[in-house]
Amino acid sequence: MIMVKIRTIELGEFPILLAPMEDVSDPPFRALCKRHGADLMYTEFISSEGLIRDAAKSVQKMDIFEYERPIGVQIFGSDVESMVHAAQIIEKVNPDILDINYGCPVKKVACKGAGAGLLQDIPKMVKLTEAVVKAVNIPVTVKTRLGWDDQTKNIVETAERLQDIGIEALTIHGRTRKQMYKGEADWTLIGAVKDNQRMKIPIFGNGDIDTPEKALLYKNRYGVDGIMIGRASIGNPWIFNEMKAFLKEGKRLKRPTLKDRVEAATEHLDFSVQWKGERLGIVEMRRHYTNYFRALPHFKEYRQTLVTSLDLTEIKQVLTSIQEEYTFV
């Protein structure tokens, strides 16, 4: 097999990528995903307007670490000047890749003409992308969707236009903006983009890949260069190595034990507190516990403390109690 590359960045023969997820793909979570096999990761998406105004939350999202490489920083916005300025700010923190988000479907982004909103104005998307490509020296990649709705699934043509103005990889989510995250992701057009003889850049597929078996099936069926994992990695950073082992050897790795899960949740909590401060780190960790301990019976009483307590010692005692109380099946 041929090595997948973004410019000179080697990603392996079939890379498994971590998706940029708002309030999820922060440094504490990325550290776990990297350790468990993610080949390329992206930050949470960053507002170009927030970044040029020096908004603290936007600036903090640019935090990247050497061990994460290769790492991409993702931005969104609808104003060409602001996007160019933001791209130049991001380049100074020295990520390997700059990614532009044309896929976020949420109202506060898409209805302001950013994210998936630009699927309603492909000429503007192309113009904006070209301006960013010209403004920075690092590779620019794009993440987008099939189209705005069922009548505008123009991704095959859009992909050509984006490649022509200089993007160096494209990730496609197999839904339209109107679908949000409902229904099933349709990879047919992702496969059509990859099959297009004009396309030379790596094409990554995204949407509903949640098992190693499905990763292999979609790899073979649609011929993509790699797969981006989003929601299936939440509380399950082991999925990257599990998929890679299955793709390589056709074997399922042993599922993480309860001890593995407790250790991962504890490490995630520690890094979250270290990076965000104690109170915010504890609060923002709350959304992850249910995912780490999803299959645990009678988890409710433990969960109650984990999602209400602001006492770090108490939370860690609960995590230790979980390990002592259960044998994970």
Q: Are 230 and 303 part of one and the same domain?
A: no
Which of 231, 249, 267 lies at the terminal end of a domain, its last residue? 249
Decide if pLDDT at 65 tops 80. yes
**What does 108-120 look like in DSSP terms, one character per residue?**
HHHTTT-GGGGGG
Task: Give the per-residue pLDDT at 134.
Answer: 98
Q: Are 222 and 279 part of one and the same domain?
A: no
Rounded Cα distance between 87 and 91, Å, is 6
Q: Are 172 and 298 part of one and the same domain?
A: no
The tokens describing 97, both together, are: 């890749």
Tell me the per-residue pLDDT of 75-107, one tens digit each, with 9 for 90 and over.
989 899 999 999 999 999 999 999 999 877 666
Tell me the per-residue pLDDT of 216-267, one tens digit each, with 9 for 90 and over.
999 999 999 999 999 999 999 999 999 999 999 999 999 999 999 999 999 9
Q: Are 239 and 98 part of one and the same domain?
A: yes
Residue burial 109-134, b: 16+ Cβ < 10 Å; e: rest? bbeeebbbbbbeebeebbebbbebbe
Which of 203, 225, 249 lies at the terminal end of a domain, its last residue? 249
Burial of residue 214, with CB atoms counted within 10 A of its CB: 0-12 exposed, 13-18 middle, 19 or more buried: middle
Q: Are 277 and 294 part of one and the same domain?
A: yes
Q: Are 65 and 157 part of one and the same domain?
A: yes
- CATH number of the domain that residue 266 is part of: 1.10.1200
Provide the domain limits for residue 272.
258-325
Q: Are 53 and 88 part of one and the same domain?
A: yes
The tokens describing 255, both together, are: 């599922």
Q: Are 15 and 144 part of one and the same domain?
A: yes
Q: Are 90 and 62 in contact (CB under 8 A)?
A: yes
Query: Active-site residue numbers?
Result: 104
Which of 229, 249, 269 lies at the terminal end of a domain, its last residue? 249
- CATH number of the domain that residue 210 is part of: 3.20.20.70
Q: Are 214 and 298 part of one and the same domain?
A: no
Total number of domains in the chain: 2
Tell me the per-residue pLDDT of 277-316, one tens digit each, with 9 for 90 and over.
999 999 999 999 999 998 788 888 899 999 999 999 999 9
Q: Are 279 and 229 part of one and the same domain?
A: no
Give 113's pLDDT tier (boundaries 50, 70, 90). Answer: low
Rounded Cα distance between 85 and 65, Å, is 23
Q: Are 243 and 221 in contact (CB under 8 A)?
A: no
Q: Are 92 and 113 part of one and the same domain?
A: yes
Identify the DSSP state of 2: P
Q: Are 288 and 175 part of one and the same domain?
A: no
Strands (DSSP E) contained in 166-324 are 170-173, 203-206, 226-229
pTM of this prediction?
0.93
In the three-class reduction of DSSP (H, G, I as helix; E, B as strand; rest coil), residue 308 is classed as coil
